[in-house]
Chains A and B, each alone.
Chain A
Amino acid sequence: EADIYQTPRYLVIGTGKKITLECSQTMGHDKMYWYQQDPGMELHLIHYSYGVNSTEKGDLSSESTVSRIRTEHFPLTLESARPSHTSQYLCASSAIAGGRGEQFFGPGTRLTVL
């Protein structure tokens, strides 16, 4: 079944640790996105990719980095986690670029940095 997966679902970690949030999709989509979502707030685009070896920063400045070595895999890394990084991170993919096509979302990773 075509789907989009995120691991871990929940992560509690101390300040200064390096973390990688995993996102994989079996949708066959070229386009992938990372959003940050705080409670009661809108989603903010932090990274996107339109294909292998293509990554761009989104609207919301983020200290995280991403890579796109394989079409189906789009991991997000924080080199040194801080309490300000506490948030929910949602991964999405689409067949059509940008705002013209439906985006499919993973279940999210809720990150807490102590």
Chain B
Amino acid sequence: AQSVTQPDIHITVSEGASLELRCNYSYGATPYLFWYVQSPGQGLQLLLKYFSGDTLVQGIKGFEAEFKRSQSSFNLRKPSVHWSDAAEYFCAVGGYNKLIFGAGTRLAVHP
């Protein structure tokens, strides 16, 4: 069955520190992979996506993610976190007729 697992429900980092949010997926074919961010009271905004080609993809707001087929992972990274990055982050895999979302990781940023 298709599924997405985000092992970390809640992560706290200090401003300026590096960040990695984990995402593992289960999908039979070559996946389409997405990372979305949701600020409080808002909808989801796409950070980046992977369809094919270079396994390291760059997104908006300084985020990047690396697709590792052998590990079925698509982890999101940022070298230096800003206070405005505090939000909920969702990983998703694109199936035949829908997106399948993980449960999300809530990021808190300490000043």
Contact = CB atoms under 8 A, between A and B. Distances in A.
Tell me whether A and B are bound partners.
yes
Interface of A: 4, 6, 9, 40-43, 45, 48, 58-59, 90, 92, 97-108, 110
| Interface size classification for chain B | 20 to 34
B43 A105 contact: yes
A97 to B, nearest CB: 7
Given A42-B103, A45-B98, A105 B90 contact: no
Of B32, B34, B98, most A-chain CB atoms within 10 Å? B98
B104 A98 contact: no
Interface majority SS (helix, strand, loop, mixed), chain B:
strand
B95 A99 contact: yes
Given A105-B44, A107-B43, A42 B96 contact: no
B100 A99 contact: yes
A41 B103 contact: yes
19 contacts: A6-B43, A40-B103, A45-B99, A48-B98, A90-B43, A92-B43, A98-B94, A98-B95, A98-B98, A99-B96, A99-B98, A100-B32, A102-B34, A102-B46, A102-B49, A103-B44, A105-B43, A107-B41, A107-B42
B93 interface: yes
Contacts of B100: 99
Contacts of A110: 41
